[in-house]
Amino acid sequence: MDGADAPPTPPGRRWPLRVGVLAVFAAGLGLFFALGGHQALSFETLSTHHETIRAWVTNHQGLAMVAFVAAYVGIVAFSVPGAVWMSIAGGYLFGTALATLLIVTGATAGATGIFLAARFVFGEAWRARVKGSIARLETGFRENAFSSLLVLRLVPLFPFWLVNLVPAFVGVPTRTYVLATALGIIPGAAVYASVGNGLEAVLAAGGRPDLGLIYDPEIFAPLLGLAALALVPTLYKRWKGRAR
């Protein structure tokens, strides 16, 4: 059953669910910062310990892949900083192709988790409060959900966490959300994984990876082109509707 068609949670059970989800979210964030996760997901940590980490990954390839995906799920689900450095580390440890696959898997799973939590625990209450102000947005987004979300994923102009949440409040079907998310983040994941794949040479030269690389014209322009292609079905639908 798709998420859009799932039966609503009975009103009497919603508050405990909301409190529980908020408690888990707050505990996860608190644990992340208490254990120094914000410091671990940094250039300094990667540059200092990259050889040790790579040696461990080489000796425990399967476990390392599972751990990487699990960590990425947590980073995205709890919306903590460091996803870019995690992607770069993945490229360094696993190579561009495999890292891209692992990043997309982890990011999609984490994004889907927070999407479902937002929809089923908070979505109805939030939509009831702002129903009038989002009515047009909801209608437009639902009619062209896949294309709209794919564009938002392809062109990284909005915070990733925001794009995770908004579809939950405007009725995007779960299947559409998962597919558009997985496809839309592939280019960005590949860019940062490729940066990580060349990290050793950058560190040897005493440099630092350019996190703004994705906005360089030779990379950003093709992303805009893909986004434009993704909008073609939406534009055609509107043109066809006006023609009638």
What are the residue boundaries of the structural domains of the chain, listed by start? 11-243
Cβ pair 170, 138 in contact under 8 A: yes
pLDDT tier at 70, thresholds 50, 70, 90: very high
How far apart, in whole angstroms, are the C-alpha atoms of residue 233 and residue 40? 43
Residue 16's CB is within 10 A of a number of other CB atoms, namely 10
Percent of all residues in the chain with a pLDDT value above 90, rounded to a whole number: 32
Contacts of 227 (CB under 8 A, 6+ apart): 150, 151, 154, 155
pTM: 0.79
Strand locations in the chain (E):
none
More confident residue, 112 or 17: 112
Which of 37-51, 78-92, 222-236 is most confident?
78-92
- pLDDT single digits (tens) 185-227: 999 999 999 999 988 888 877 777 776 767 777 666 777 777 7
- Calculate the average pLDDT of the chain: 80
